[in-house]
Chain A
Amino acid sequence: MKVVIFGCGRTGSTLALQLSAKGHQVTIIEQNPAALRRLGNDHNCEIVLGSGLDDDALIRSGIESADVFFALTRGDNTNLMAAQIVRLKYGCEKVCVKVADPLRADAYRNMGYFCINPAALTAGMMRDWLVGTPYEPIDTYNVLNEELKV
């Protein structure tokens, strides 16, 4: 698959290496050249220096023919906006967004975006590790706690 990843932080770089190890064609969009060291010296990823909010960088990343787009910067709003540009303007339907704020993740999930909230995933897996129950599918972790609802 042709994969475009916006953000070469810890999540983005790890995902890029994992997917390219499986033979997928990975392009990373990253603004900060220093962040690319996270990929190590021996990777197969294409690099586009720029922002996933800019048409120029998106087009250079090959978004028009991409199968999937991941928005993985540290900015929730940046991720949410990039995801919507990619889906609405470039027609890439398969989009995954990292959203740190559980409420915002929930709101955009309701709007039809696949939002992963890392805190909910980590906490849920830790809970199951402690309790000793088998790990569950991602969707059972990736939800907003009742208590947090506004």
Chain B
Amino acid sequence: MYMILVGGGNVGMYLAKRLLAHEHEVLLIERDPRHAQRLASQLGEENVMVGDGCEMLTQRDAGFGRADVVVSVTGEDEDNLVVCQMAKTVWNVDRVLARVNDPSHEEVFHQIGVDETVSATGIIFALIEQQISPDVIVPVGALARGNLEVVEVELGPRSAVVGKEVRSLVLPPQTNLVWVLRDEQGIAVDGSTTLQQGDMLVAVVPRDHAEDLREVLSPSRH
């Protein structure tokens, strides 16, 4: 597969390394010529290109037209947005993925059709929040091009579902509770599983319904 990465910071560099190790064809585009030179000495001249990945001429020369995947991982959300949007609309790249630095921007990326976004800030925040208070839903992965999310949530003592059988829950559409980590043991969830306080629950939920799932699992208000 031909993969183009835009932005030669730490994320872009390590991503390029990993992808090359998997024997993909990789091109990393970096704007700063001196930094690009350093990258080239690590990744190989043929895998690094100097240029502004937001510019159409750079995109043409990089071969956006035949890329299977374009990943934009610069530190600026606006640059990642434009790279991904042009990759999709001008060059018809099948899969585009963006790093989103400000979690509040994620929604706009999804609205313009960039399905797959990675928000390190959002993930770290969710992990910290989970440490502080249970019942927080932490995204751990994306499926179906980001339309489905794999999430985990630790059930706190006041969660509305503690003590209930899974079959009695009213879950959002197409939502599956798949797995529970209880006392260091993994348990496959079925209708007869009774949820307990402290369970680490893994669920698959359509992205649009993640918030509804939170409602179901959150502390009961009564």
Give the chain B neighbours of A85 by CB distance below 8 A. 105, 108
The verdict on A150 contacting B57 (CB below 8 Å), with A84-B108, A88-B111 known, is yes
Q: CB of B190 within 8 A of chain A?
A: no
Among B54, B78, B104, B112, the residue within 8 A (CB) of A55 is B104
CB of B166 within 8 A of chain A? no
Q: Type the 1/0 row for B92-122, where 1 means its CB is closer than 8 Å to any CB of A.
A: 0000000000101101100110000000000
Q: In the complex, what distance in Å separates the CA atom of A103 from the CA atom of B105?
A: 25
Considering the complex, give the chain A residue whose CB is closest to the CB of B83: A77
**Considering the complex, which residues of chain A in the window 62-112 have a beta carbon less than 8 Å from any beta carbon of chain B?**
75-78, 80-81, 84-85, 88-89, 101, 103-104, 107, 110-111
Residues of A contacting B105 in the complex (Cβ-Cβ under 8 angstroms): 53, 81, 85
Residues of A within 8 A of B129 (CB): none
**Is residue B143 contacting chain A, with contact meaning CB distance below 8 A?**
no
How many angstroms from the CA of A104 to the CA of B104 in the assembled complex? 25
CB pair A77 B55 closer than 8 Å: no
Chain B residues within 8 Å of chain A by Cβ, number: 22
Check if A107 sits within 8 Å of B56, measured CB to CB: yes
Task: Give per-residue flags for B20-46: 1 if the beta carbon is below 8 A from chain A beta carbons, else 0.
Answer: 000000000000000000000000000
From A80, A84, A88, A103, B57 is in contact (CB under 8 Å) with A103
Would you call B60 an interface residue if the criterion is a C-beta within 8 Å of the partner chain's C-beta atoms? Answer: yes
Expressed in whole angstroms, the minimum distance between the Cβ of A14 and any Cβ of chain B is 24
Count the A residues whose beta carbon is within 8 Å of the partner chain — how many?
20
Q: Is B82 an interface residue (CB 8 A)?
A: yes
Nearest residue, chain B, Cβ from A79: B78
Chain A: minimal CB distance from B201 (Å)? 31
Q: Which of A54, A110, A150 has the most CB of B within 10 A?
A: A150
Report the Cα distance A104→B56, complex, angstroms: 7
Within the assembled complex, what's the spacing in Å between the Cα atoms of A86 and B56? 24
* Cβ A88 vs Cβ B78 within 8 A: no
C-alpha gap A104/B105 in the complex (Å) = 21
A85 vs B154: C-alpha distance in the bound complex, in angstroms?
34
* CB-contact partner of B112 in A53, A84, A104, A150, under 8 A: A84
Are B108 and A89 in contact, CB atoms less than 8 angstroms apart? yes
Interface residues of A in 27-83 (CB under 8 A from B): 53-55, 75-78, 80-81
Q: Give the Cβ gap from B89 to chain A, nearest Cβ, in Å.
A: 6
Which residues from chain A contact B89 at a C-beta distance below 8 Å? Answer: 107, 110-111
B165 on the A face (CB < 8 A): no
Contact of B82 among A54, A104, A110 (CB under 8 A): A104
B86: chain A residues at CB < 8 Å are 104, 107
Asked if B108 contacts A80 (CB within 8 A), the reply is: no
Q: Which residue of A lies closest to B82 (CB)?
A: A77
**Contact residues, B39-86 vs A (CB, 8 A):** 54-57, 60, 76-79, 81-82, 85-86
Chain A residue nearest to B104 (CB atoms) is: A55
A91 CB to closest chain B CB, in angstroms? 12
Contacts of B169 in A (CB 8 A): none
Q: Give the 9 A-B residue pairs with the shortest CB-CB distance, closest first.
A: A77-B78, A81-B78, A103-B56, A77-B82, A88-B111, A78-B78, A81-B81, A150-B56, A77-B79
In addition to A77-B82, A81-B108, A88-B108, 13 A-B residue pairs with Cβ atoms within 8 Å of each other are A53-B77, A53-B102, A75-B78, A80-B78, A80-B82, A88-B111, A88-B112, A104-B56, A104-B82, A104-B86, A107-B89, A111-B85, A150-B57
Contact sample, A vs B, 28 pairs, CB 8 Å cutoff: A53-B102, A53-B105, A54-B102, A54-B104, A75-B78, A76-B54, A76-B82, A77-B79, A77-B81, A80-B78, A80-B81, A81-B78, A81-B82, A81-B108, A84-B81, A84-B108, A84-B111, A85-B105, A85-B108, A88-B111, A88-B112, A89-B108, A101-B55, A103-B57, A104-B56, A104-B86, A111-B89, A150-B56
